Structure 1
């Protein structure tokens, strides 16, 4: 079955304050993207139990890209501080900035299609400049990775105008 690239446009623009995400992280490449769900499976038991956790959302943060397709990915939650985190946790501090926010509807099986639509269709014609900063996925507490009715958000960092 071939997945079609849906037309994509940002649901909204958001000015987000600075915040910190902490969780389990690993280095990935385009060839190892399929291993990210295993990271989430390992992190899942921590959700709601992370010291200093704020809110009920979970985040997937892509950061430290090398321009060759390699990047760090952290499956985590927002935290107030990092002093009491488990030893195997990583964290990333996201600076206050403006984001283009996209919604992905359905299971994560076709998440790649949404990302391709953002980068290939929306970015080139948007008039926006993507910042060299972490981008992230935000999952609500009711999100299910296999539910065709689930909705999650992709937050793409933008340069200030």
Structure 2
């Protein structure tokens, strides 16, 4: 049995690496808590508050990410072997969990589908204490009208943690019929209800036509507009806490300080076709429509 690690200012950095190295082992909440030097009850609450998910959900998620990589690199690997390695009792249970996380069946990954764009849902590293880097680009940007297609839902503070499910559904359905040549993706926000604290959100890609779309997908028209653009530079830690922090800075500090007047039109995050959320230096551009 490994000795408990010494108490450090941030125990999560070495702990997450320790878990990653032992994904093949029989990991339990009690064992991981013992490694961290806390009771299972205390550690469980601390971990969930820090990571936004339970200890064992993190372990299962990391095992599924690893299995997705193996499907890309080992085309002959058997699904039942991956299922057992991930701690599932059957191939069917593994396939269901895999599709819920990635929005695509294991078979799609065998064809070379990359897990990198959505690994941000289960990163191996913990949220960073380093402030998110956000900067306003110096020039306003004019964009002509375009169309985005994908799944959308209304969210509020209680449900917005489910937004990654839309991204899984989108990525699992790509490419769409009529999709523009660019592989850029968009997180579009509109119909904001300030009193209810709710908003519509779509995870989408650009499309040329209103062609046949998967069930539950729709087309959103983005009108021509002038935008102020904010660039979010990621630090390699968990994606969603960084985006949340960046939005607080943009709406709470940068937009009021800009003197610009925001207009009633969709705003959106844009991710380029090579976006890798777990890589330090990856960027997200956030477009906010303003009066020219």
Question: Given the two structures, how large is their TM-score scaled by the length of structure 1?
Answer: 0.89
Match of 1:126 in 2: 258
* SS at 1:155 equivalent: strand
Match of 2:283 in 1: 151
* Contact persistence 2:132–2:233 (CA under 8 A): no
Question: Which ranges of structure 1 fall in alignment gaps of 5 or more residues?
Answer: none
RMSD over aligned CA atoms reads 1.8
User: Aligned to 1:25, which of 139, 152, 167?
Assistant: 152
Change in 2 beyond 3 A, CA 1:153/1:97: same
- Structure 1 residue 40 corresponds to structure 2 residue 160: no
* Contact persistence 2:228–2:289 (CA under 8 A): yes
Which runs of structure 2 are paired with 1:69-108 in the superposition (5 Å)?
A: 69-106=197-234, 107=236, 108=239
User: Aligned to 1:53, which of 179, 186, 192?
Assistant: 179
Change in 2 beyond 3 A, CA 1:11/1:29: farther
Q: Which has the larger radius of gyration?
A: 2
Instruction: Return the structure number with greater strand share.
Output: 1
* SS at 1:30 equivalent: coil
Match of 2:22 in 1: none
- Structure 1 residue 67 corresponds to structure 2 residue 197: no
Instruction: Return the structure number with greater helix share.
Output: 2
* SS at 1:119 equivalent: helix
* SS at 2:161 equivalent: helix
* SS at 1:71 equivalent: strand
Match of 1:141 in 2: 273
Question: Given the two structures, how large is their TM-score scaled by the length of structure 2?
Answer: 0.51
CA apart distance, 1:28: 0.5
- Structure 1 residue 13 corresponds to structure 2 residue 140: yes
Which digits, 9 at most, give the CA deviation of each residue in 1:97-132, with x for residues without a partner? 100111111152311111111111111121100111
* SS at 1:116 equivalent: helix
* Contact persistence 2:134–2:230 (CA under 8 A): no
* SS at 2:170 equivalent: helix
CA apart distance, 1:145: 2.5
Change in 2 beyond 3 A, CA 1:6/1:58: closer
CA apart distance, 1:6: 4.6
CA apart distance, 1:10: 3.0
Distance 1:151 1:57 in 2: 12
Change in 2 beyond 3 A, CA 1:7/1:24: closer
* SS at 2:251 equivalent: helix
